[in-house]
Amino acid sequence: MSLADITAAAQRIRPMVRRTPVLAMEQSPRAGLSNPLHLKLECLQVSGSFKIRGAANRVATLGPDRIAAGLVAASGGNHGMATAYMAAQHGVAATIFLPANASPIKAQKLRLLGATVRHVGTVWDEAHEAAQSFAQSAGAFYMHPFADPAIVAGQGTVAVEMLEQIPDADLFIVAIGGGGLIAGMSQFIRSVRPQARIVGVEPVGSPTLHASFAAGEVVRLPQVTTRVATMACGRTAESIYETARRHVDEIVLIEDDDMQRAAELLWLDFGIAADLSGAASLAALMAGAVRPEPGACVAGLVCGAGIDGLSEQSSTSLPADAPAGAAR
């Protein structure tokens, strides 16, 4: 994957995706932020997340014969919905494998898109193995969520738009599941705005790239305990690790509850329905895991839609004033 691959992908998928807006995080004192923060709202994207970018780019590079037997994906939810959407657009079958911790709402959405949903295993890696085996036996095309250069290039188009919309951004904060989003985005950001700092965010219960960075090589986590299915991955791909190692400055870890609080704030203060991964950029700032330089312009994204911030506890779990760990 190169800079040219990402710019070509941006042109290729333009008719199939939305140019999502950017929200300036103002008038929200409870977030406790002292730096200007801009969030790109990929939760308003086609299929509900940035994942449609990679799926659209991949399918656009395939001939009709290659997808005639259908598309298959393993997903925490968002990549599955993007795959199902593209299958529906091309009139082919979609079979999506989900781990047990995937959102029931997203499973329902997949069925509404016409996909066959199969629950396998407790984490994405187990669903991935089953999906690969099924795709091979059925002759269908397997849509890997991150170990596919065309999909990663598609995800990188988020950064193309962000740098047009927030040209002065000094710090980019990006959620990490398998790592395709941060690999694609960091490749473009480092090429176009090399002075910017790039920080990845992972759950404490799924420190996939964080552990690999510490070890100096790709490692498999002994267990994945996060409840955030869209950020749960036991092992990344070598290509993702190498790209992130070159371009990403730091990876921080946050608790699932940090993302819950941020999702609730996004809903209560802005009416934005984000899933927990979509709240990760804001959560890293609110929890103090990322502390920007004074005056730095911060760019993050709400990468996926969901109802995680709309829970019954939303009115009570969010403190009335700024959290104690808020970035200052």
Q: What is the average pLDDT value for the chain, to the nearest integer?
A: 93
Q: What is the C-alpha to C-alpha distance for residues 248 and 246, in angstroms, rounded to an integer?
A: 6
Decide: residue 167, CB within 10 A, 0-12 exposed, 13-18 middle, 19+ buried: exposed
The yes-or-no verdict on residue 103 having pLDDT over 50 is: yes
Q: Are strands 71-74 and 94-98 parallel, antiparallel or unpaired?
A: parallel
Q: Which domains does the chain show, CATH number per domain?
A: 3-50+148-317 (3.40.50.1100), 51-142 (3.40.50.1100)
The yes-or-no verdict on residue 327 having pLDDT over 90 is: no
pLDDT tens digit string along 275-316?
A: 999 999 999 999 999 999 999 999 999 999 999 988 644 444
Q: How confident is the model at residue 325 (pLDDT cuts 50, 70, 90)?
A: very low
- Output the pLDDT for position 29: 79
The percentage of the chain sitting over the pLDDT mark of 90, rounded to a whole number, equals 90
- Output the pLDDT for position 153: 98
What are the backbone dihedrals phi and psi of residue 306, each rounded to the nearest 5 degrees, phi first?
A: 180, 180
pLDDT tens digit string along 43-74?
A: 999 999 999 999 999 999 999 999 999 999 99
- Output the pLDDT for position 310: 87
Q: How confident is the model at residue 128 (pLDDT cuts 50, 70, 90)?
A: very high
- Output the pLDDT for position 314: 47
The yes-or-no verdict on residue 79 having pLDDT over 90 is: yes
Q: What is the C-alpha to C-alpha distance for residues 79 and 180, in angstroms, rounded to an integer?
A: 11
Dihedral Cα 147, 250, 278, 47, nearest 10 deg:
-30
pLDDT tens digit string along 185-235?
A: 999 999 999 999 999 999 999 999 999 999 999 999 999 999 999 999 999
Residue with token string 């997903």: 75
Q: CA of 296: how far to CAs of 153, 161, 197, in Å?
A: 27, 20, 10
Q: Which two tokens stand for residue 55?
A: 């799926």
Secondary structure of 47-69 in the HEC alphabet? HHECHHHHHHHHHHCCCHHHHCC
- Output the pLDDT for position 317: 52
